[in-house]
Amino acid sequence: MKADTARIGWIGAGHSPLPAVIYGTKAAWLSEAAALGLPVPPGFALPAEMLGELDLVAELDALAAQTGTRLGDPSAPLLLALRASSDEGASASVPAVLNIGICDAVFPALVTALDLRVAQDLRRRLIQSYGIGALGMEGEEFEYALYDALKDAGADAEEELSADALAELTERCLNLVAAETGEPFPDAADQQLSGALNAMAAAWNTPRARRRRVARGGADDAPLTLIVQQMVLGLGAGNSGAGIAHLRDPDTGVWALSGRYLANAQGDEALMGLRTPQVLSKAEREEKRLPDPALEEVCPQTAHALADAGARIEAALGDAFSLDFTLANGDLHLLELHSARLSSRAAVQVAVDLAESGAITREDALMRIDPVLLDAHLHPMIDPSAKRDQIGQGLPASPGAASGPLVFSPGAAEEAAATGNPALLALIETSPEDIRGMHAASGVLTVRGGMTSHAAVVARGLGTPCVVGAGDLTLDVIARQLTAADGRVFREGDVVTVVGGEGQVLAGAVPTLQPEITGAFATLMDWADQVRTMGVRANADTARDADIALGFAARGIGLCRTEHMFFKDGHLTTMRQMILAESEAERRTALEKLLPMQRADFVELFEAIHGLPVVIRLLDPPLHEFLPHGLAEMEEIAAELAVPVEKIRARALDLAEFNPMLGKRGCRIGIAFPEIYEMQARAIFEAACEAGARTGAPVKPEIMIPLVSAVRELELLKTLIEESAEAVRTARNEMVDYTIGVMIETPRACLRAGDIADKADFLSFGTNDLTQMLYGLSRDDAGRFMPDYVAREVFPHDPFHRIDEEGVGEIIRLAIERARAAMPGVSIGLCGEHGGDPASVDFCQRAGFDYVSCSPFRVPIARLAAAQAAIRARR
């Protein structure tokens, strides 16, 4: 019984486009192009599960009516192509069967229409493609047959073979197929078609085809639709051949024709390297100084037709495509559309073009770009054509590529920068005192540490390319050398490159390309800002950071880590004096000296931020981090401060803690030494007065207290800050508008968020510490086993990188609920590393955050991620 043919889809002018979910993208996109009136050979698409139910008589009649030729008709034979259609990436897992319908009965007509040699060649190709596409035979078997034929004929290339030689080759191919199937190759056109359909459906499910589609990103069990189409020969008179056209420059996304074309060819032969294809564009031919003219020069009308087809397809389908095409005696036919392969920059250009032309909406354009890919716009990149000599692999801590002569100490990095030749700083791991060296270095490499280790966080903040945890490199600090796993040794001054975005360490200098913020990128960012509902701020400690943040359109600073100011030249010594003080009076004397330094830094920062909001966090790290570690450095400091080295050593010992991350840090310093926070508060208020007076833009500092876990900590420190404000007001007769907030980064603070919000103007979640404390997992040591944990799916992601919604996320939601219940209007932000991770930004939108704050270089990523989160929330 004839099965229901309603599910057969037609490809051709006058037919509606086919849905991709039923017929696969190849059939769907071709049917779209055909519906636009573009030259697509007519045909139909048949879901494979319908095979066996059908005789296809009606379909073949319809094709005969459309083409004026008929399958197996000795006077006007129709030849067919059979192609697989499925999800993109899966379609190509079985190759096409071409030239179906050539049998003895129709051969004379082909000879008359083409010539004997072409007819022979077509027949040979039918058998070969049937063997490969339908029977799943190896292409090499046929290549060996061709090789033998060439040898026998004394020929170098296929096109030199005579009709007789091709006939002989055809015989060899027939024997190969017969040996495979145990039967002669069918000589009836309709048997060829039904045989090819059934064999292709069987080939689709072979392990080899499954492996191929998985390798191309398709699904192992992707469904199959068979496309039966009129064959366009690509062989014969005039300009005939096959090729692929790319219409957009794959790096920039602007309109530019490129691709390959091979005369007298079918299918994807232009890409198979059997013969040298022509390029499509004159520009490429000239640039590469190729001897043969470009297709554009030989057939300008084809180049125009391709560009026109590309533009119409983009407008209709809302995406960029590359086109497989065939020329038959000068006439263009489109045989397949592929999603264009584009760099992230090109993808932005195309998305913006499409939205501006109305082909897609702005929201679609925003949703289409993976925010993480924007990173490529923001940092220097390795020239894609450069050779890489990889010597190590670590974690991609901070993107961008940087080369430089190796140095093994922060001091050496500073010296190198002073000579105008920035060095690449390699260390076991970094600590806060290395920040100046990191600042001065072209790039940073550590052999230990994870994605939220000190080096990683600071490098991201500075925008310095950085690879951490490159454990396959051995660093000998004493000998000052780095040894690669292959035994190669790199000494001070040897040039090395880090590729921060990929975690690679390379030998030698590698050419880089500077990032360009193109017009399209800026436009996309503008649209993102119009759509998003969450604010995006930057974590910025200096005026330089603030400048970068503003350059990336951050709306203020969400975290200024004031400790970084104390590591500046000249400041560190005074800071150390303060830490070495043996009494409050002595400490106050040192703090008096620190006050103007801190004030000057704040003035600079406030001026740079032009009146936008700025969150200043009071001192957070444990004090021992400011003291030198090694004896040599202790001696140096002792001489500088004119104190016995013993005193420094004793103080360092005194401050040493078993778990400094859980020790005397954060607001605990402020409770133990209130005079330190008092000095900082005073510096903030005085700087606000000065900067406000200078710029005319009032500064409204948001003072943040770190590591709070009990509301009493907030109460004590709030009083202290308010008293400072009052003192400054009395002294200067000027009132600074300010707020006081709390950093929520301990589990207890989350649970007590109601009490805390009741007394705070804002809350900012420090998700680095919160993750560390909730998991009981050191952020500095996690890198040692995190890759194993993620690989074995203990955690779906590194929780220091992407917010763990199940655990950390749950306690954050609970904290927000309690905070808003107590104080509905309290502002809620996030300032941990997660602020620059798109999935975490999406969580923040769902959890009701007011803003996220991240490293300046990740601000554009967060802006786009916030826009996408807002769109998702609306949809």
Site for Mg ion in 728-747 (CB under 5 A): 745
Copy the structure tokens of residue 436: 């100046």
Q: Report yes or no: 234 and 264 within 8 Å, Cβ to Cβ.
A: yes
User: Closest residue (Cβ) to Mg ion?
Assistant: 769
552 Cβ partners below 8 Å, 6+ apart?
378, 538, 856, 857, 859, 860, 863
Q: Indicate the residue among 405 and 469 with the shorter CB distance to ligand PEP.
A: 469
Site string for Mg ion, 29-48 (x = CB under 5 A): --------------------
Alpha-carbon dihedral angle through residues 142, 145, 146, 152, given to the nearest 10 degrees = 180
Q: Which amino acid is at 89?
A: G
- Residue 695 binds which entry of ligand PEP, Mg ion, none, with Cβ cut-offs from 5 to 8 Å by kind? none
- Residue 32 binds which entry of Mg ion, ligand PEP, none, with Cβ cut-offs from 5 to 8 Å by kind? none
Q: Indicate the residue among 319 and 745 with the shorter CB distance to Mg ion.
A: 745
Query: DSSP secondary structure string, 551-605?
Result: HTT--SEEEEETHHHHTSTTHHHHHHHHHH-SSHHHHHHHHHHHHHHHHHHHHHH
Q: How far apart are alpha carbons 245 and 307 in whole angstroms?
A: 9
Site string for Mg ion, 823-842 (x = CB under 5 A): --------------------
Task: Tell which one of 545, 769, 780, 804 touches Mg ion (CB under 5 A).
Answer: 769
Q: Indicate the residue among 81 and 457 with the shorter CB distance to ligand PEP.
A: 457
Q: How many residues bind Mg ion (CB under 5 A)?
A: 3
Question: Of 711, 777, 780, whose CA–CA distance to 744 is shortest?
Answer: 711
Which residue bears the tokens 């919000």?
757
Q: How far apart are alpha carbons 512 and 385 in whole angstroms?
A: 10
Shortest approach of ligand PEP to residue 853 CB, angstroms?
A: 8
Q: Is 678 in the site for Mg ion (CB under 5 A)?
A: no
Q: Indicate the residue among 352 and 435 with the shorter CB distance to Mg ion.
A: 435
63 Cβ partners below 8 Å, 6+ apart?
42, 43, 44, 71, 78, 228, 230
- Residue 702 binds which entry of ligand PEP, Mg ion, none, with Cβ cut-offs from 5 to 8 Å by kind? none
- Residue 561 binds which entry of ligand PEP, Mg ion, none, with Cβ cut-offs from 5 to 8 Å by kind? ligand PEP
Q: Is 590 left (phi over 0), alpha (psi -120 to 50) or beta?
A: alpha
Q: Indicate the residue among 239 and 452 with the shorter CB distance to ligand PEP.
A: 452
- Residue 679 binds which entry of ligand PEP, Mg ion, none, with Cβ cut-offs from 5 to 8 Å by kind? none
Q: What's the CA angle centered on 644, arms 641 and 647, to 5 degrees? A: 95
Long-range own/partner contacts, residues 425-432 (CB < 8 A, 24 or more apart) = 426/475, 426/482, 426/496, 427/455, 427/475, 427/477, 428/475, 428/477, 429/453, 429/454, 429/455, 429/468, 429/780, 430/454, 430/455, 430/458, 431/625, 431/629, 432/563, 432/564, 432/567, 432/621, 432/625, 432/626
Q: Indicate the residue among 470 and 705 with the shorter CB distance to Mg ion.
A: 705
Shortest approach of ligand PEP to residue 457 CB, angstroms?
A: 6
Query: DSSP secondary structure string, 317-328?
Result: HSS-EEEEEEEE
Q: Indicate the residue among 89 and 766 with the shorter CB distance to ligand PEP.
A: 766
Q: Which stretch binds Mg ion (CB under 5 A): 59-67, 164-172, 483-491, 768-776?
A: 768-776
- Residue 525 binds which entry of Mg ion, ligand PEP, none, with Cβ cut-offs from 5 to 8 Å by kind? none
Q: Indicate the residue among 43 and 832 with the shorter CB distance to ligand PEP.
A: 832
Shortest approach of Mg ion to residue 745 CB, angstroms?
A: 5
Shortest approach of ligand PEP to residue 769 CB, angstroms?
A: 3
Shortest approach of ligand PEP to residue 680 CB, angstroms?
A: 15
Shortest approach of ligand PEP to residue 715 CB, angstroms?
A: 22
Q: Indicate the residue among 101 and 706 with the shorter CB distance to Mg ion.
A: 706
Q: Is 625 in the site for Mg ion (CB under 5 A)?
A: no
- Residue 831 binds which entry of Mg ion, ligand PEP, none, with Cβ cut-offs from 5 to 8 Å by kind? ligand PEP
Q: Indicate the residue among 23 and 851 with the shorter CB distance to Mg ion.
A: 851
Binding site for ligand PEP (CB under 6 A): 559, 561, 620, 745, 766-769, 831-832
Shortest approach of Mg ion to residue 766 CB, angstroms?
A: 4
H helix runs in 806-874, sequence order: 808-822, 838-847, 859-874
Alpha-carbon dihedral angle through residues 70, 72, 78, 79, given to the nearest 10 degrees = 150
| Residue 770 to residues 24, 757, 775, 795, Cα–Cα distance (Å) | 46, 17, 8, 17
The H-or-E segment that residue 344 falls in is: helix 344-356
Shortest approach of ligand PEP to residue 459 CB, angstroms?
A: 13
- Residue 449 binds which entry of Mg ion, ligand PEP, none, with Cβ cut-offs from 5 to 8 Å by kind? none
Maximal CA-CA distance, the chain: 111
Q: Indicate the residue among 682 and 779 with the shorter CB distance to Mg ion.
A: 779
Q: Is 766 in the site for Mg ion (CB under 5 A)?
A: yes
Shortest approach of Mg ion to residue 830 CB, angstroms?
A: 12
Which residue bears the tokens 């007065």?
689
Shortest approach of ligand PEP to residue 855 CB, angstroms?
A: 11
Q: How far apart are alpha carbons 828 and 774 in whole angstroms?
A: 20
Shortest approach of ligand PEP to residue 303 CB, angstroms?
A: 55
826 Cβ partners below 8 Å, 6+ apart?
757, 760, 761, 762, 763, 819, 820
| Catalytically annotated residues | 454, 831
Name beta bridge partners: 334.
325
Q: Report yes or no: 118 and 109 within 8 Å, Cβ to Cβ.
A: no
- Residue 767 binds which entry of ligand PEP, Mg ion, none, with Cβ cut-offs from 5 to 8 Å by kind? ligand PEP
Q: How far apart are alpha carbons 235 and 341 in whole angstroms?
A: 29
Q: How far apart are alpha carbons 337 and 212 in whole angstroms?
A: 20
Cα 848 versus chain centre, distance: 27
Q: How far apart are alpha carbons 263 and 279 in whole angstroms?
A: 11
Copy the structure tokens of residue 348: 């932005």
Cα 27 versus chain centre, distance: 29
For β-strands 331-339 and 321-328, DSSP reports them as antiparallel
Q: Report yes or no: 498 and 402 within 8 Å, Cβ to Cβ.
A: yes
Shortest approach of ligand PEP to residue 620 CB, angstroms?
A: 6
Q: Indicate the residue among 194 and 768 with the shorter CB distance to ligand PEP.
A: 768
For β-strands 443-446 and 489-491, DSSP reports them as unpaired
Q: Report yes or no: 236 and 118 within 8 Å, Cβ to Cβ.
A: yes
- Residues of this chain that interact with Mg ion (CB under 5 A) are 745, 766, 769
